[in-house]
Structure 1
Amino acid sequence: MNAAKGLFKKAMGKDHDDRPVPQPDQRAQGSPVSQQDIYKYRFQYGTNLGSIFVLEKWLFSGMFEKTAEGGSELDAVKASLQTRGLQATVEKWEKHWSHALLDKDMEFLINEAFCNTIRLPIGYYTLGPEFCSGTPFEGEPSQVYRNAWSHVLHTCNKLAEAGIGVLIDMHALPGGANKDSHSGTSSPIAGLWGDKHNLDLARKSLVFVAKEISAGKIPNCTGLQLCNEAAWGAKGMYEFYGNVLAEISRIDNSIPLYISDAWKLDTALDWARKQNTISSNTNLIIIDTHKYYTFDEKHKSKSPQEIIRIVPEALSACNQIAGNVHQNGAAPVFIGEYSCVMDAQSWNRVSESERQALTQQFGQVQCQQWHTQSCGSAFWTLKMAWMPGGGWGFVAQTRNGSVRPPAYLSILWDEVPHRIAEANDHMERGRSHEIQAHCHYWDSKDPGKHYEHWRFEAGWDDGWNDAVSFFGAKEASGIHIGRGVDRIGCLDGWIRKRMIEVGQSGPLGWEYEHGFRNAVAKVESVLLR
């Protein structure tokens, strides 16, 4: 460290020798990178579990009696209760939950898909009868869910054994965040918004889950999603988010909270970055946005080739504010749902013989964008009654090459120590050069202006060490299943966390951020080559 300090002073130049430079033991130290940090901030690649705890008829029609009047969870459970009675319905539902992840599913996720994350949709009723009071699930339907939450925890723990993270997605909220049947009922209105009872119950449900996560019951939790696919223009949505954020921050501010963008990504970006400043030590907000190219008329009127060409535009709004946490705050984006489906009107514009190649190109172009412009993605979906699922099936689209993981998720673990050693060798040679280049650039750009280049050095060291920690985490975790390594995927969110921890919120905190980003880019060019 003394040698590093000497190089730093030399890089600063003679005129700067008298400036106070914090000694290594005077700098605020960030907490060591933990396994929970890895789960929450690595790049998330995976799939939705699908229609397990929130039923959708088109995915599991066998859960619906012929007498079911609609395609929602409530329709299914009421029809079953009427036809089979309570005990048989409980047995049927619990069998469905317990078969969510079979051994063959785990084998696929680990050794074929190289998946490191599952988005797991649940409903407020999944939490048990207490949470059904004053809702359409009250009474006998609520008794079906007496053990539902324990099944969720069992599913999460099974994934934890393989090192796969879980995003708990409150997919179905009281009254419905949207008008669709995956909100739990077939109500034609989005009854959550503007209804005090429903909003209070939604908040209570989310707080319960946050407490369970904080208590360590889901050690592989990547975050908690507050709402799924909020209706366009949902009144009071951001007030609801703010209220839940404030309450959960008092319980555990380390849990990333995912929000629905209500199909208006630019508005969500603006709100999220205002919450995710380095002066606000509340839970990190991550935006969940869904990218489908099959439902809107604007997409149906396009050919497959035209749709493929517009995919790179999907996250253009994110690029305008990313990469400058000190000034803009953080606004990470997660692609919570996407598929390889296009409408028949689009496919009718090409020959049948072209379809397979175009599907592969469509999926691969999407993956390329999500891998480089977001903090993660989850395909819709893993499980359905009609496996492997066609354009909606993660299994089908993985096996035909349409959906591909980042290459580093298949790196063999015996390569990890060698790559880290090589990276550290580069660090010894490159560190002083990067510090010197930074100091020279800014001192030349504005001679006489006061800078604090020690911040760049501190950021550089932290960035390098953190990137190496993420890369080596799986190999060091003791969970020796499958292969692959991790990288800091939610980089803006992680930099915010570090800047808060080490007190880099002052006017020159940007130097720390520059150093951190510089080091991460340099080390990843070696580790992930």
Structure 2
Amino acid sequence: MKGLFKKAKAELQSILDIDPRTNQPPAQPSQHQHQQGFRRGIEMDQPSTIKPVTPLDIIRYRYHHGTNLGSVYVLERWLRNSMFPEDASGSSELEAVKAWVEKIGVDETRKKFEEFWANAVTDEDIKWLVQEARATSIRLPIGYYDLLPSCLENTPFAPYSAVYTSAWSSISSLVMRLRMHGIGTLLDLHALPGGANTQDHSGTNSGVADLWVSQDDRNLGIRCCQFLAQQVVEGLDGVIGIQIANECEWGSPMNPWYNDCIDAISAIDASIPVIISDGWNLENAINYSLIKNTAMPSQPTCPVVVDTHYYWAHTGEDTSKSPQQIINEASTKLSELNGKEGSIIDRGAAQVVVGEYSCVLSEDSWSKRGDTPKQVLVKEFGEAQSRRWQQRSGGSFFWTWKMDWFPGGEWGFQEQTSSSAVTSPPSYSTPSSSISALLDRSNSHRDERMYAAVNQHTSYWDHLVPNTPCEHWRYENGWKVGYKDAQDFFQGASTVGGGNKIGNLEIWVLKRVRESGMRGNFVWEFEQGLRRGIHDLYAAVGI
């Protein structure tokens, strides 16, 4: 039987269509999985809970093209020196608020911060995001001190709690303003109690990552996650996910705390995507997410997405490379996903977003560029990253958008977008009139596409394992769901622009498999039909 499966799989490579997302044939069930399909006992299907695609589904699961907001609710002096008194002794949020309170008092400091928050993103800014950048999402760095006043108790921010009394209302107002324009927000707990890393963007200049050694800090971090989830449940529309940590210190004991946070959010709303930091070890984080993203969990649980960051300007290894070398290297990133996508029934779902990247290189690297003008290489660098993230990730967020020295040079989303170094997926620029025509075309031969896909699937497995019971109706069911889902994403909605692609494909498939209610040995047929239906719609509209 093993030899037969190997031969059959080899033959299958030549007859299946190519998946444009991975440039590989659609994934097939493993030998072990299909063999077990004929051996295990029967499990009864449950009622399906699959519903039509909603605007919130589109905002959460399309490819996220966007930017980090920058230094607004988590101050960093190198980005926002104007929010620090000249005599401030440090570079973190805590040092800024401490210095202002000492200088002008609590009330005036509160007014200063509130005015800064209120004017950080104007209506014209949002208009630019939508019309020029074609952005779909914002990654919004926030601190634990921006949430409930009780979150500041027994922390270094406790003496300054009065400054932050309206911080959360400012944040929620921004989230809703963005949502009104079709932009989703990733709530990023950038600054956690005690600090997930030793850097000033953790809120203090302590230089330590106490989160990992303090149970009190970890418990407070869980409370922060619960607060954010509850806000979403109570109507904060447009939240595409909750990131529970940013740039965790290398080697930190993250997983047990991640488990606690994911459980806490899942108990409130298991539909909210949870984003975790890879702690600079992407492969380990992906393997953790595969365990969390099982097809049939014992109880409802949030989908888990891994956040990874890419910079090429800080290590000796990177500064020794030329821009041309780095551009080539950017096109190879995210290889840790190889072999881990395509079958959630087999191994769970692996989904990654690039939470931070830039077009910055060190002066040492630029000195090795040869005769090629720097601006040409900056553009090539941004283009290479944009292509790669769109090929292999569920979204990417440039670092960063807002700073004192706007538009920001190679650190600036606005400048790199205006120069076309950083670009959105091509389908996001499709005119609405063209979207309607393409969808009409996709419907004109829908049944023929479905019959071709189902017949190919059925013929293959009937030839491979003749006279063996299969459940090919599940494949057809999955195809129909996938084709319609992809149509709905592409069409968009009245409050969401069109041209969308299911960029977070793995966790979307996970969602649909869980909602299908299907059980037993042949759920993989539904999954593969779902993937093929999505693929066939993309082929029909040319994206």
Partner of 1:5: none
The change in CA–CA distance for 1:213 and 1:27 in structure 2 (over 3 A counts) is closer
Partner of 2:382: 363
How many Å separate the matches in 2 of 1:173 and 1:434? 49
Corresponding pairs, count = 497
Question: Is 2:91 aligned against 1:74?
Answer: no
The change in CA–CA distance for 1:30 and 1:79 in structure 2 (over 3 A counts) is same
Deviation per CA, 1:250-286, whole angstroms, max 9, x where unpaired?
1100000000000000000000010101112300000
8 Å CA contact 2:61, 2:508 repeated in 1: yes
Task: Give the SS at the match of 2:492.
Answer: helix
Deviation per CA, 1:130-158, whole angstroms, max 9, x where unpaired?
1100100012x111100000000110111
8 Å CA contact 2:49, 2:517 repeated in 1: no
How many Å separate the matches in 2 of 1:295 and 1:525? 41
Partner of 2:74: 54
How many Å separate the matches in 2 of 1:98 and 1:87? 16
The change in CA–CA distance for 1:29 and 1:484 in structure 2 (over 3 A counts) is closer
Question: Is 2:400 aligned against 1:386?
Answer: no
Task: Give the SS at the match of 2:355.
Answer: strand
Question: Is 2:137 aligned against 1:117?
Answer: yes
Deviation per CA, 1:408-436, whole angstroms, max 9, x where unpaired?
11111122222111101121222111111
Task: Give the SS at the match of 1:192.
Answer: helix
Q: 2:110 aligns with which of 87, 90, 96?
A: 90
Shift of 1:350: 1.9
Q: 2:266 aligns with which of 229, 249, 255?
A: 249
8 Å CA contact 1:28, 1:501 repeated in 2: yes
Deviation per CA, 1:27-75, whole angstroms, max 9, x where unpaired?
7351221122111111111000110100000111000001211100000
How many Å separate the matches in 2 of 1:330 and 1:161? 31
Range that drifts further, 372-381 or 99-108: 99-108
Deviation per CA, 1:455-479, whole angstroms, max 9, x where unpaired?
11011000001111111123xx256
Shift of 1:319: 2.2
How many Å separate the matches in 1 of 2:215 and 2:387? 42
Partner of 2:294: 277
AA matched with 1:495: V
AA matched with 2:504: C
8 Å CA contact 1:408, 1:485 repeated in 2: yes
Partner of 1:138: 158
8 Å CA contact 1:471, 1:527 repeated in 2: no
Partner of 2:537: 523
AA matched with 1:224: I
Partner of 2:415: 396
AA matched with 1:72: S
Shift of 1:26: 10
Question: Is 2:474 aligned against 1:493?
Answer: no
8 Å CA contact 1:326, 1:505 repeated in 2: no
Task: Give the SS at the match of 2:402.
Answer: coil
Shift of 1:328: 1.2
Deviation per CA, 1:211-238, whole angstroms, max 9, x where unpaired?
0011112x11100000000000012x11
How many Å separate the matches in 2 of 1:421 and 1:327? 36
* Displacement over 6 Å in runs of 4+: none
Deviation per CA, 1:354-403, whole angstroms, max 9, x where unpaired?
21111111110111010010000100011111011001100010011110
Q: Which sections of structure 1, spanning at least 5 residues, go unmatched? A: 1-24
AA matched with 1:341: V
Q: 1:504 aligns with which of 494, 497, 518?
A: 518
The change in CA–CA distance for 1:26 and 1:74 in structure 2 (over 3 A counts) is closer
AA matched with 2:99: A
What RMSD over aligned residues (CA atoms) do the two structures have, in Å?
1.5
Task: Give the SS at the match of 2:212.
Answer: coil
Q: TM-score, normalised by structure 1?
A: 0.92
What is the correspondence of 1:300-379 to structure 2 with a 5 Å cutoff? 300-351=319-370, 354-379=373-398
Q: 1:513 aligns with which of 527, 534, 538?
A: 527
8 Å CA contact 2:250, 2:280 repeated in 1: yes
Partner of 1:230: 248
Partner of 2:149: 129
Task: Give the SS at the match of 1:313.
Answer: coil
Question: Is 2:435 aligned against 1:416?
Answer: yes
Task: Give the SS at the match of 1:144.
Answer: helix
Question: Is 2:313 aligned against 1:299?
Answer: no
Q: Which sections of structure 2, spanning at least 5 residues, go unmatched? A: 1-44
8 Å CA contact 2:55, 2:495 repeated in 1: no
8 Å CA contact 1:203, 1:244 repeated in 2: yes
Task: Give the SS at the match of 1:244.
Answer: helix
Q: Work out the percentage of aligned pairs sharing the same amino acid.
A: 40
Shift of 1:308: 1.0
AA matched with 1:513: E
How many Å separate the matches in 2 of 1:478 and 1:397? 27
